[in-house]
Amino acid sequence: MTYAECTVGNHIYYARYLDLLEAARGELFRAAGVPLLKLQEAGTIFPVIECHMEYKAPARYDDELVIEVRLTELGRVRLDFAYRVLRGETLLLTGSTRHVCTTLEEKPKRLPPEIVAALSPYAMPSEAVQPLS
């Protein structure tokens, strides 16, 4: 973590974790071969419509973190992700986000077939996901 992301108490400011989760999501899309910028340029975006985070322990300046992301639902218009943030073996945060597929004008639309095909290998039904707590 950078110093700018930390509070006076030398822990990451709570809202900064959303930035970490977004970065992890972006990497998942990139690994799937569908970078978010390319999708946006084609008129498809994925606004967050719900999020949840549970803080277990603080991350601090200069910590090396591992962010795990799992695609837990790949629906017609909705995507759900689950996350874990770790420092070594220490679980720092669990979280989830729910997204809807929309146009740039924020009108819901079905996930394009090429996106479904690209993301399908990364989908893990929620009942198969290990508990994140």
Please tell me the total count of domains within the chain. Answer: 1
Q: How far is the C-alpha of 129 from the C-alpha of 133, rounded, in Å?
A: 11
pLDDT in tens, 77-114: 999 999 999 999 999 999 999 999 999 999 999 999 99
CATH code where residue 19 lies: 3.10.129.10
Tell me whether residue 133 is in a domain: no
- Are 92 and 86 a contacting pair, CB within 8 Å? yes
Domain residue limits at 108:
3-126
Tell me whether residue 132 is in a domain: no
Tell me whether residue 92 is in a domain: yes
pTM: 0.86
Q: How far is the C-alpha of 33 from the C-alpha of 122, rounded, in Å?
A: 12
Tell me whether residue 131 is in a domain: no
CA atoms lying within 13 Å on the CB side of residue 97? 20
Tell me whether residue 10 is in a domain: yes
Supply the pLDDT for residue 132. Answer: 41
Tell me whether residue 13 is in a domain: yes
